[in-house]
Copies of this chain bind each other. A is one copy, B any other.
Amino acid sequence: MAIRVAVNGYGTIGKRVADAVALQKDMKLVGVTANSYSWLTEVAQKKGYDIYSIGDQEAFKQNGIKIAGTIQDLMGKVDVIVDGAPKKIGKENLEKFYKPNRIKATFQGGEKHATAGTSFVAQCNYNEAVGKDYVRVVSCNTTGLVRTLNEINRLYGIDSVHATMIRRGADPADIYHGPINGIVPVLEMPSHHGPDVQTVLKGVEIFTTALSVSTTLMHVHSIIADLKRKPDIQEVIQRFKDAARIRVVRNAEVIRSTAQIMELAKDLGFARGDMPEICVWEEAIGIDPNGHNKLFYMQAVHQESDVVPENVDAIRAMMGEKDAQKSIRMTNEAMGIK
């Protein structure tokens, strides 16, 4: 029987996970929730998704949106909820809806690790999520760091990592936040990303700093990894090429910026022009000229989509699928991901 899934919090991540779930052969998208009227509800209705209301239904009725029931009605119909609610609301939803109704749930990176007890990146620690009731898919940045560092760790062993994250200021459709013009350092040391990586990639020493810039097109990470063995550039390139959900892009093919990666994603036909794969620039992979066991690389992370396949895998793991590679392959095939 198909796994019955609903999305509570139909925003940037939620709408994407809803579409991804609808594409999986072993899952059924039962519905999505909405707490205010917008083009998102218009599009959800157009796609044939059942819409469950949170709070007042008046604006939906006025605009011709058919409501299938309330969020409470939805709880009786599903095995797993994907919680895409804003930061901290996920924890409230857990106490109010999921625990009392004994429903499994995935949470997003805005929630604390303790809320779910298990933090998750499929390629790294899928097994930890098998059979669990609550799993937290880590943030886009943490997911990006874990995906590539996990490969490097398995290949050479990591002593420590220093990473600087140059973050997009806001998402493309967000007209309320900045900066329009400026560079905004995150004024805490380390930034929260380092400790967050350690909830998934256990025992790796990592120190991160972050700053925001005037772009909506992806984050970029500049990573320095001190390794237990001397790295080889060609070996690293091949390892990234072989890994799922990592893409090696090249200056030689005129991919010189996040803007061109986003254009490539559109050209490749990814839904919404998303790039769910972490993109590493081949020409920006380097080793220490003085012979230390250091590896340098730069990667781009699409903040809106890299965690989408992770949510799908987390659902399968929670529902008992034990084979990580099988789940990753199924998710990737349905979504057109490498």
Contact = CB atoms under 8 A, between A and B. Distances in A.
Interface of A: 15, 37-40, 42-43, 46, 63, 172-175, 180-181, 214, 217, 249, 252-257, 259-260, 262-264, 266-269, 271-273
Contacts of A38: 253-254
Given A266-B272, A267-B15, A63 B253 contact: yes
Contacts of A254: 37-39
A39 B282 CA distance: 14
Contact of A267 (B39, B180, B255): B39
Contacts of A260: 39, 173, 175
Given A63-B252, A273-B273, 5 more contacts: A37-B253, A43-B267, A172-B263, A180-B214, A266-B273
Contact of A175 (B40, B46, B256): B256
10 shortest A-B CB distances, which residue pairs? A173-B263, A266-B272, A38-B254, A273-B273, A43-B267, A39-B253, A175-B257, A39-B264, A173-B259, A173-B260
5 contacts: A38-B254, A39-B253, A172-B263, A173-B262, A181-B181
Number of copies: 2
A143 to B, nearest CB: 21
Contacts of A263: 39, 172-173
A154 to B, nearest CB: 29
**Residue with the greatest number of chain B CB neighbours at <10 A, chosen from A259, A267, A268, A271:** A267
Contacts of A262: 172-173
B174 A259 contact: yes
Contacts of A43: 264, 267-268
A46 B268 contact: yes
Nearest to A266: B272
Contacts of A266: 272-273
A175 B260 CA distance: 8
A296 to B, nearest CB: 22
Nearest to A173: B263
Contacts of A252: 37, 63
Contacts of A46: 268
Given A172-B259, A172-B262, A262-B173, A267 B40 contact: yes
Contacts of A181: 180-181
A173 B259 CA distance: 5
Contacts of A264: 39, 43
A170 to B, nearest CB: 9
A272 B262 CA distance: 10
A185 to B, nearest CB: 20
Contacts of A39: 249, 253-255, 260, 263-264, 267
A36 to B, nearest CB: 8
A212 to B, nearest CB: 16
